[in-house]
Structure 1
Amino acid sequence: MGKIWSIYRTDWKNISNVPIAILLLGALTILPSAYAWINIKAMWDPYSNTSGIKVAVANEDEGAEIQGKKINVGKEIVQNLKDNKKLGWVFVHYTTAKKGVEKGDYYAYLYIPTDFSKKMTSILEINPKKPQILFGVNEKINAVAPKIASSGASSITNQISQAFVKTVGDAIFSGFYKAGIELEKALPSIHNMEDQIFKLEQALPEIDAMGKKAIELEGKLPEIREKGQKIIELEQRIPEITQAGNSILKVEANLPLVNEASDKILALQDKLTDLNRVNGIITQVEANLSEIETNINQAIERTAQAAAQAETSANTSKLTTLHDDLVNLHTTVMQARVELKQKVSDGEQIINSSANFMKNDLPTIEKRIHQAANFVRNDLPAVISDIRKAANLIRTKLPGLEAAVHKAANLARNDLPGFEAQIRSTADKLRRLKGSVNVNDLIQFLKHDPQAESSFLSSPVLLKTKRIFPIPNYGSAMTPFYTMLALWVGATFLIASLRVDVEDAQKYKSYQVYFGRLLTFLTIGILQAVIVSLGDLYFIHTYAVDKLWFVLLSILIGIVFVIITFTLCSVFGTIGKGLAIILLVLQISSSGATFPVSTTSAFFQKIYPFMPFTYAVSMLRETVGGMVVDVVIKDISYLLLFVAVSFLLAFVLKKPLSQRIEKTAALAKSSKIIQ
């Protein structure tokens, strides 16, 4: 241990004796701090000066007309951009904007085309078209500026979208409000409609029965058409019906004559006995004639006998003639009696039949004739009118009725089942809706304030930011990275500028040389850490919650980095210096000090846990934003692990590799260009 301290004291004694060495060490101590301070100050608040990033704006929007109102969204955008100081907006023609971006006069351009407003209002059309703002950016000018310009352009489109959504939402919710008022007014009608639908559902069996009757009626249409034709034919016979009615009236008018004839027939019936007496008289006359005829025959015979005795031929001739006349008369009387008897019999039958008709049937017929006559006088005109109306109805309305019946039958056959299903489905939905949705609640929802609703729709989510471990500016947030980087750069300067071996090394053991010279490097590294950390806090005034811990942990990081770089150079010589530079390059990308490591490639994500920067920057961030003890302890533990690995590397490899490293260094120096 004494020899280690001896080497350390000798180093500082030699340094104090050479002023140029003191100046060099002073520079090595301060230069890393300057590196950190300059970069931190340069990055102090880069987003406060974005107005210097020029973005050209070309507006050629011709506007549009909606419901009689002219609008020009492009002009509104330009007006809003004039009040927006986040970027350096320059308003030029489209051609100028394109050329300016290509030449580098502008970082980007925004082009609002002629149909921007027209497409914006196409939301009211069947096929709306999204409007476009053409954004062109020159990415070769600067790596960051295009991103800032893109962010500005995105912010503008978001503002346009929010304004548009608010406008449309205001219109929609105003419509909702009016709909709520109208719905409230129509609520009784709605309930009535519900009742009607439920009643209609209950009436579906009757409707179905009516449909079946319509189909049945359709089958009877030919019969109805035939009967209708008969009515038309009956209309054509109205003159005959009228004539028949007149005849009935005439018959009624002649009824007194009929009654008179009836009386005579009845009287004649009473005289039928007289007719029978006439027949008896005729029979008696016939008998008398027969007797006379017999007497004449006897007289003729006696006359003939007498004539033989005397001349009485003249008398006989007269008697014969009289006899012949009597025979003829008798025959005539006989024929007359027979005919009279037949006629009397026929007449008696007719008279009796007529008398029976008159006594029995005539009163009924007379009554019916009076009824018929009353019908003719009172009802027949109306019947004739009804016949004409019915005939006219059949001629004019029956075709339409048939078409309606066919339509109703087709409806019953084809559409009624679906209609019934829809009614039942609608009724079921209404029942479910009544069970799940309160119409009064819906009305209250629709009557919400349109302005408040549209404002909510345009910005449905308010991002309430709670700053955990807040850091006031970008420079302070980057202080851990640049401070840590400065300490690694300072440690690299040391191994590049100072010797890691000692004079008369053969007098010391390898570990004595290693630790003796390491103490000198650590002293300078601690000074570097003190200067850079105090300068951060009190020279450029970076923000840190725990200032003391910021200084102390910066010193710890400086010690760790010096040990790592010194060990690499002490063990591997000039190659170790190169390894320190390589480690610097790898750690900048893999430590998550600038961009999150998750945004880097898979290689850097894999080496991330094995880099000292990973834990150094994490530990310093804790002191700047607010310390979480567990995180700090974990980071210190990993940094001490790197120290232990460095010491192990030195103990294991320094002595075996020392002679080979010396030979390699001698060969390098023999080139007269490598130190």
Structure 2
Amino acid sequence: MNTLRLARNEFRRITAGRLPKLAVLALILVPLLYGALYLYANADPYDRLDRVPAALVVADRGADGADGEHTNAGQRIADQLIESGAFEWHRVSESEAQIGVREGQYTFALTVPRDFTAALYSSADFQPRTGTLQLTTNDANNYLAGTIADKLGSEIRKSVASEVGTQAADQFLAGFGTIHQQVSKASQGAVELTKGAGKLSQGTTDLLGGSERLAGGLQTLQDKTADLPGQSERLAEGARQVAAGNERVAQAGNELAGTTQQLVNRLDGMPDRIAERLRAAGVAEADVQQVLTELGQLHTPIAEANGKVQDTAGQLRTLANGAEQVSSGADQLAGSAPELTNGISTASSGADELLAGARKLDTGAGDLHDGSTELRNGLRDGLKEIPNPDEQTREDTANTIGDPVGVQTTGQASAGSYGAGLAPFFLSLAAWIGAFVLFLLLRPLSSRALAAGQPAWRVALAGWFPAALLGLCQVVVMFAVVVWLVGITPAHPIQALGVLALASLAFTAILHALNAALGAVGKFLGLLILILQLVSAGGTFPWQTIPDALQPLHQVLPMGYVVHGLRHTLYAGASMDIGGDIAVLIAYLIGALALTTAAAYRQRVWTPSKLKPELVL
């Protein structure tokens, strides 16, 4: 009897009758009920979070921003949350929220306190405090919902922090623009100051030159007028003497002028008197006339001489009067000369002080010019360093400062949904459970074949073939339902089904070997191995996160390799590096069949424990 006939006989045994057939069908559907139904129920729970009731309490009173505009950040958060539809939000009071979370009416509550906006703006007054959102959870309602709520609170915090940071950065950059404008004005002022300082410096240089010349001239004048009082006194004395001499000369002139005038006056009546006396003396008339003629000729030069004497006397009087005035002036000069020399001395001393001040002023003006030049150059250089972004650049920069770190996620392989992410684990788990329940109905080894002395390898393969075939039916039906009804689309469907089929063959071989070698104890070990694989396969969390004592199990037990192989065939973008997984599963398949063969060889000898086992499952 060959292996296929032995396997066919086992199929006939388990399908003889309506109930056995239904039992076989039920065994085929067990993995479907476990794997496909679970994945269907959890295909995309995040898409239905809008049905999860949550309480929202907005007590924020708002605050005035730096621009004087009243803002209510809490209300804005509430509007965004309700608009997002992330949860089924209910606007309630604080007491209603606490009671609702405690009694399970709301899964969690998010409270925005009264001073939330004020706290966000507190840094502007240099009295910073944190705006705190209050998240109330109750794990008795649902632990994962609380975890999601924590994540939501974290996202809100980051969003608000980014918004506030962006606003602060925008005001900060706007301040830079104002500073730039003011520094630009200051730079222009410095240019004008430099020009003015240059003119001042030139003016002080001219002033210094004039002061030097004035001081030199006054010093020379002081030197030249040092003897002025004595000289003016001598001049006054000489002038007085000249005035006295001129007065005497003028008086003599006056006396001479009076004498000559008297002479002229006498000469005027003298011809008539002489003529009378001559006539009286009997002088001939002709002689009288001749005498009169000669007297007339004599009168003319005398009259002319008298005129000159009179003129000279007048000039002498004028000269005497002038000399008197000169004398008076010389006296005044002599009296004023000491005061003048003192004034010149004082002016010279003042000119020296003026020169010293002009030198200091010239030095200061030069320093002012140099300093204003440095100020101008410094302001120009500083102006280049002060940011002056336009409105768009300022907005982009503020956004970057407010939220400087971005995360760009590059998915090398994408599951696509929560259900697809869990599919490798639950498909593997369902394949093991399916293989496990098969041996509730199937016999691991044919007693008839053993009694007939069939070769151990033939008996072993004949006992495995029915389970292998039913296991393949299990995974094919389950895979078809998962793909076409649940909607989890594998990236490489043929390879994914191949990994799942090989896993089923290996699992049925392992459980077959345990049942064949150990009987009821083997069934228990199959359940124990299932539990160990649940905690070590890394189906939900990365296997590196399990305790160190359990990590070797991940390397040894087969389910972790099935999970790995399914992930690399189900997800788009995966490397398809499943050669190691296939090799491990084939090794388990061959090893399990070898163990079953050894068990079949051993069981050809009938023992009392075999005829009457202590434990039957």
1:167 corresponds to which letter in structure 2? Q
Aligned 8 A contact 2:176 2:388 in 1: no
Q: CA separation in 1, counterparts of 2:191 and 2:557?
A: 75
- Is 1:475 the counterpart of 2:419 in the alignment? yes
What is residue 617 of structure 1 aligned with on the other side?
563
Following TM superposition, by how much is the alpha carbon of 1:384 offset from its aligned partner in structure 2, in angstroms?
8.6
2:460 corresponds to which letter in structure 1? Y
Following TM superposition, by how much is the alpha carbon of 1:47 offset from its aligned partner in structure 2, in angstroms?
0.4
Pairs within 5 Å for 1:153-552: 153-187=153-187, 373-380=335-342, 440=384, 443=387, 449-504=393-448, 505-508=450-453, 509-552=455-498
What is residue 61 of structure 2 aligned with on the other side?
62
SS at 1:56 equivalent: strand
What is residue 298 of structure 1 aligned with on the other side?
none
Following TM superposition, by how much is the alpha carbon of 1:559 offset from its aligned partner in structure 2, in angstroms?
0.6
1:496 corresponds to which letter in structure 2? L
Aligned 8 A contact 1:574 1:665 in 2: no
1:492 corresponds to which letter in structure 2? F
Q: Deviations over 1:294-318 (max 9, x none)?
A: xxxxxxxxxxxxxxxxxxxxxxxxx
What is residue 284 of structure 1 aligned with on the other side?
none
What is residue 228 of structure 1 aligned with on the other side?
none
Residue identity over aligned pairs, in percent, reads 20
SS at 1:135 equivalent: strand
What is residue 105 of structure 1 aligned with on the other side?
105
Q: Deviations over 1:547-599 (max 9, x none)?
A: 23333332211111101111122112212212211221222222121222233
Q: CA separation in 2, counterparts of 1:665 and 1:103?
A: 60
Following TM superposition, by how much is the alpha carbon of 1:168 offset from its aligned partner in structure 2, in angstroms?
1.7
Aligned 8 A contact 2:451 2:604 in 1: no
Aligned 8 A contact 1:108 1:137 in 2: yes
CA RMSD in angstroms, aligned pairs only: 4.3
Following TM superposition, by how much is the alpha carbon of 1:383 offset from its aligned partner in structure 2, in angstroms?
7.5
Following TM superposition, by how much is the alpha carbon of 1:463 offset from its aligned partner in structure 2, in angstroms?
4.3
1:531 corresponds to which letter in structure 2? V
Pairs within 5 Å for 1:30-109: 30-67=29-66, 68-109=68-109
Following TM superposition, by how much is the alpha carbon of 1:57 offset from its aligned partner in structure 2, in angstroms?
1.9
Aligned 8 A contact 1:471 1:477 in 2: yes
TM score, norm. by length of structure 1 = 0.61
Aligned 8 A contact 1:177 1:449 in 2: no
Following TM superposition, by how much is the alpha carbon of 1:630 offset from its aligned partner in structure 2, in angstroms?
5.2
Q: CA separation in 2, counterparts of 1:442 and 1:501?
A: 89
Following TM superposition, by how much is the alpha carbon of 1:72 offset from its aligned partner in structure 2, in angstroms?
2.5
Following TM superposition, by how much is the alpha carbon of 1:382 offset from its aligned partner in structure 2, in angstroms?
8.4
What is the aligned residue count?
477
Q: CA separation in 2, counterparts of 1:9 and 1:188?
A: 105
Match of 1:581 among 515, 522, 527: 527
Aligned 8 A contact 1:101 1:109 in 2: yes
Q: CA separation in 2, counterparts of 1:582 and 1:25?
A: 24
Aligned 8 A contact 1:55 1:149 in 2: no
Q: Deviations over 1:45-76 (max 9, x none)?
A: 11011112222222222332344433322222
What is residue 556 of structure 1 aligned with on the other side?
502
- Compared CA separation, residues 630 and 482, structure 1 to 2 (3 A): closer
What is residue 28 of structure 1 aligned with on the other side?
27
SS at 2:432 equivalent: helix
What is residue 226 of structure 1 aligned with on the other side?
none
Q: CA separation in 2, counterparts of 1:26 and 1:454?
A: 66
SS at 2:477 equivalent: helix
Aligned 8 A contact 1:62 1:114 in 2: yes
Aligned 8 A contact 2:568 2:576 in 1: no
1:18 corresponds to which letter in structure 2? G
Following TM superposition, by how much is the alpha carbon of 1:449 offset from its aligned partner in structure 2, in angstroms?
2.6
- Compared CA separation, residues 19 and 154, structure 1 to 2 (3 A): same
TM score, norm. by length of structure 2 = 0.67
Aligned 8 A contact 1:597 1:604 in 2: no
Following TM superposition, by how much is the alpha carbon of 1:39 offset from its aligned partner in structure 2, in angstroms?
0.7
Aligned 8 A contact 2:232 2:337 in 1: no
Q: CA separation in 2, counterparts of 1:625 and 1:23?
A: 35
Following TM superposition, by how much is the alpha carbon of 1:38 offset from its aligned partner in structure 2, in angstroms?
1.0
What is residue 567 of structure 1 aligned with on the other side?
513
2:503 corresponds to which letter in structure 1? I
Q: CA separation in 2, counterparts of 1:73 and 1:178?
A: 27
1:125 corresponds to which letter in structure 2? D
1:547 corresponds to which letter in structure 2? P
2:339 corresponds to which letter in structure 1? R
Following TM superposition, by how much is the alpha carbon of 1:138 offset from its aligned partner in structure 2, in angstroms?
0.8
What is residue 8 of structure 2 aligned with on the other side?
9
Q: Deviations over 1:128-151 (max 9, x none)?
A: 112111212112222311112122
